Amino acid sequence: MLLSPLVLLAACGQPAPQQTNTASAAPKETGYIARVQALPPGQREGVLFRAIRSSGGQSCQEIKQVEPLPTPASGQPAWRVTCIDGSQWRVALTDDGTALVTGAQR
């Protein structure tokens, strides 16, 4: 019991530790893109299908074809996904696990 007040007194007058800002502009790389690209085609299609369905692509009931698109300078790989109803979707991945899905085209 007597040590507690002594420890508190010893800390008096000490400057507060400096806080450093460790936030960076670039998102943390998780290896998500590499893991998706390494999947067998059927499993990769499952990832792309879930991304389309989660984005509101209710018309896509099944994937008919998947074509990789040229990777842009941003480094986000993308695929053109054609569903059995003829709708086409562009699905790009980010390394933080986000899928960017752009509209259905017929």
Cα(62)–Cα(38) distance, rounded to whole angstroms? Answer: 22
Q: Which pTM value belongs to this model?
A: 0.67
The pLDDT assigned to 51 comes to 94
Cα diameter, the chain: 79
The pLDDT assigned to 7 comes to 46
The pLDDT assigned to 8 comes to 47
Burial class (CB in 10 A: 0-12, 13-18, 19+), 88: middle
As given in the structure block, the two tokens for residue 15 are 């400057």
The pLDDT assigned to 91 comes to 95
The pLDDT assigned to 106 comes to 58
Contacts (Cβ under 8 Å, ≥6 apart) of 84: 61, 62, 63, 64
- What are the backbone angles phi and psi of residue 69, rounded to the nearest 5°? -100, 155
* C-alpha closest to that of 81 among 71, 61, 36: 61
